Amino acid sequence: MGHRENLLSAARECLLRTGYARTTVRELVAASGANQASINYHFGSKEELLTQALHELNREWGELLFAVLDDSATPETADTADLAAAHEARWSRIIESIQANRELWFVNFEGISYLKHDEKIRTMNAQGQQTARAALARAFGGPGPQATDDEVRVLGTHYYSLLVGTALQWLTDPEHAPTAAEIVQADQLVAARS
């Protein structure tokens, strides 16, 4: 592995262990076996190196999300009980993934604080959200082939909001965070009142 790859690997490791703001050049140098000049040569700055590593971690987060969502599609003819069971199974896998990848979720939440000042991170985050919304809409909303792009976006936005809120609760207060069954029950209660 060359210096560039070693630096990226070290940056990923440091982001997951220490976070974006607390990762120092000294830690990156120690973890990669490279020197500070290599950081500047390959990436221009520590921030650019960390942003590239954050981009890779965001891509990894997306792959984890798609993996837990990807199962046999629920047939359009499924009854309410079958649909609820399929949704509960998906939410269970999402919650298990959140618990298994806490450091990845923490660094992604930390990355949000940089959106205001870093166009690259803002663009990366927006693109990831678009992809996640579409995947969540397909997994939970079941938009048919006739669904408009706007309908898919609206469904995806709803489920993305649930995902982020669920993740935040499981990271900060797992004792009181919603279970998969509670998330599905809440969705059913909202639908029944509509």
Q: What CATH number is associated with residue 141? A: 1.10.357.10
CA–CA distance, 165 with 113 (Å, rounded to integer): 16
Burial class (CB in 10 A: 0-12, 13-18, 19+), 132: buried
User: Does 48 fall in a domain?
Assistant: no
Packing angle between helix 180-193 and helix 80-100, nearest 10 degrees? 140
pLDDT, average across residues 116-136:
87
Question: Could you report the per-residue pLDDT of 77-103, keeping only the tens digit for each?
Answer: 566 778 889 899 999 999 999 999 999
- Distance of alpha carbon 67 from alpha carbon 76, whole angstroms: 21
Tens-digit pLDDT profile for residues 12-29? 999 999 998 899 999 999
Which DSSP category does 146 fall into? T
Quick one: pLDDT band at residue 176, thresholds 50, 70, 90?
very high
The sign of the dihedral angle between the CA atoms of 40, 44, 47, 52 is negative
Q: Is position 38 within any domain?
A: no
Interior angle at CA 167, CA 162 and CA 173, nearest 5: 115
| Phi and psi angles of residue 135, each rounded to the nearest 5 degrees, phi first | -65, -40
Q: Which residue has the higher pLDDT, 131 or 74?
A: 131
Is residue 136 a part of any domain in this protein? yes
Exposure string of 74-112, with b = 16+ CB inside 10 Å and e = fewer, is beeeeeeeebbebbbebbbbbbebbeebeebbebbeebe
Q: What pTM value is reported for the model?
A: 0.84
Specify the number of domains making up the chain: 1
Q: Which residues are CB-contacts of 67 (< 8 A; sequence separation ≥ 6)?
A: 97
- Residue 11's pLDDT is 95
User: Mean pLDDT for the chain?
Assistant: 88
pLDDT at 171 over 80: yes
Confirm whether 14 is domain-assigned: no
Query: For residue 171, what are the domain limits?
Result: 54-193
Is residue 6 domain-resident?
no
Q: Please give the average per-residue pLDDT across 113-119, as a whole number.
A: 83
